[in-house]
Structure 1
Amino acid sequence: MIIETHQLLMFIAAGWLLNLTPGPDVLYIVSNALRSGTRAGIVAGLGITTGCFVHIFAAAVGVGALLAASATAFTVLKWVGAAYLLWMGVRMLFAKASGDGGSGAAIAAAQAAPAAAVSLRSVFMGGFWTNVLNPKVAIFFLAFVPQFIAPGTDSKALAFVLLGVLFNLNAIPVNVGWALAAGWMARRVGAVQRGMHWLDRIAGAMFIGFGLKLAFSDRPAP
């Protein structure tokens, strides 16, 4: 048996709690849903989930172990990931600085013509790369998932993949919930729409903070 029933329930509960915790992923989903509607938030979540799948399969074949053991490999990917978060933050911080109506106007346009208001592909890829370029996601899976694999399991790599996939699938309803909540706020709360001009600035500053935190973080002890 890969995992005992009570351990499985604990694994699912822990996964939900971790995915409910605000961080770069939640911020990315919420900011896109507020700015461009629920569909954009859901697509952002799917991009994040796809990026997590990359780490799950990479960890299963040893890439994650390499990142955990090699300071050089971790540092290279860490700086690439930090640079990407900083780039996203700067882009959001200075978005629509020319005073073209702000994000509130963008929401109104999205409601009138959602297909043309936002590139869902760019939203998806943004979520994807936010995860793929963060080595701490790989380290997280290496540290978290094995705790729930039964000691007598024959194929621990297969067990790792199955539990990683389960963790990711369990994250989807949480991510959709964040997108639905943010989309509801964008549609019904006028103050949120009027304040959307500042959302990009706040989100951009937070992404810059996440990027700096990643850039100056140490490699976790093996």
Structure 2
Amino acid sequence: MFDIVHFPLFAASAFALSITPGPDLAYVVGQSLGNGRRAGVISAAGVAIGSCAHTVASAVGLTALLAASPVLFTIVKFLGAVYLIWLGAKMCLGSLQRRKAAQTDVALPVANTHSLLLRGFLTTITNPKVLLFFIAFFPQFVTVGGDNQAVSFLLLGLAYAVIGFVCDATFAWLAGSAAGAVSRNQTVKAWIDRVVGLAFIALGLRIWLTKR
């Protein structure tokens, strides 16, 4: 099909990457636990949109440019690390607001659709793990010198985004079951935000310290 080869192996690899713990999955599960299934599924959609952006970058050659430039790759890696640390710190600070709200019975606003989509998009677009997957792994499934390389990259990227969305949405649905039991308990939600926030900070530091 076009210039795509060994597609079943590609699909299996995409599935394995999607269920491996990382920033994307942590974000989706955290939102689902803290704000319910709907928030988790919307977050998963944001992650999928980020994967589509990676796909377009691969098709037009931007990913290859990053692969050839250690400086650009390092910039992207550090941006991803800083974003994760910032997001984690924001969630930890937000948990203090939840604790205060629990003590005063004040309702906190629920994250809106635009915010959930944007955060999911930024989480995956700055995720070095996904970037490396596109740089080092995608080309192995496209025929060298083929006439339809760009289209092949787009189709593989779309398949990756769909597989990732299904996996993330499944985890969001499962995590949402636990969220229903504590939907009215702001104290528990605050602790969930705190744990997920610390996980984001740890992931950010790990990315910051990891060499290419």
Count of residues in correspondence between the two structures: 207
CA deviation vs aligned residue, 1:3-42 (integer Å, no higher than 9, x gap): 35xx222222222222111211111001101111111000
Report the equivalent of 1:137.
Answer: 130
Report the equivalent of 1:72.
Answer: 71
Matches within 5 A, 1:51-70: 51-70=50-69
The 1-side partners of 2:195 and 2:73 are apart by 29
The 1-side partners of 2:75 and 2:187 are apart by 41
Unpaired segments of 5 or more residues in structure 2? none
Unpaired segments of 5 or more residues in structure 1? 111-115
Cα distance, 1:154 vs structure 2: 2.4
Whether 2:163 is the aligned partner of 1:170: answer yes
Partner SS, residue 170 of structure 1:
helix
CA deviation vs aligned residue, 1:89-142 (integer Å, no higher than 9, x gap): 11112223152245xx89xx69xxxxx622121111011111222344222112
Report the equivalent of 2:23.
Answer: 24
Whether 2:193 is the aligned partner of 1:200: answer yes
Report the equivalent of 1:210.
Answer: 203
> In the superposition, relative to structure 1, how do residues 72 and 176 fare at CA in structure 2: closer, same or farther (>3 Å)?
same
Contact 2:95 2:194 in 1 (8 A): no
Whether 2:209 is the aligned partner of 1:184: answer no
Whether 2:154 is the aligned partner of 1:155: answer no
Relative to the length of structure 2, the TM-score reads: 0.87
> In the superposition, relative to structure 1, how do residues 21 and 153 fare at CA in structure 2: closer, same or farther (>3 Å)?
same
The 2-side partners of 1:47 and 1:41 are apart by 10
The 1-side partners of 2:95 and 2:189 are apart by 11
Contact 1:52 1:131 in 2 (8 A): yes
Contact 1:60 1:157 in 2 (8 A): yes
Whether 2:34 is the aligned partner of 1:41: answer no
The 2-side partners of 1:205 and 1:14 are apart by 28
> In the superposition, relative to structure 1, how do residues 165 and 65 fare at CA in structure 2: closer, same or farther (>3 Å)?
same
Partner SS, residue 47 of structure 1:
helix
Relative to the length of structure 1, the TM-score reads: 0.83
Partner SS, residue 3 of structure 1:
coil
Stretch moving more, 154-163 or 34-43: 154-163
Partner SS, residue 95 of structure 1:
helix
Report the equivalent of 2:4.
Answer: 3
The 2-side partners of 1:199 and 1:189 are apart by 10
Contact 2:91 2:197 in 1 (8 A): yes
The 2-side partners of 1:189 and 1:94 are apart by 20
> In the superposition, relative to structure 1, how do residues 206 and 137 fare at CA in structure 2: closer, same or farther (>3 Å)?
same
Structure 1 residue ranges, 4+ long, deviating more than 6 angstroms after superposition? none
Partner SS, residue 73 of structure 1:
helix
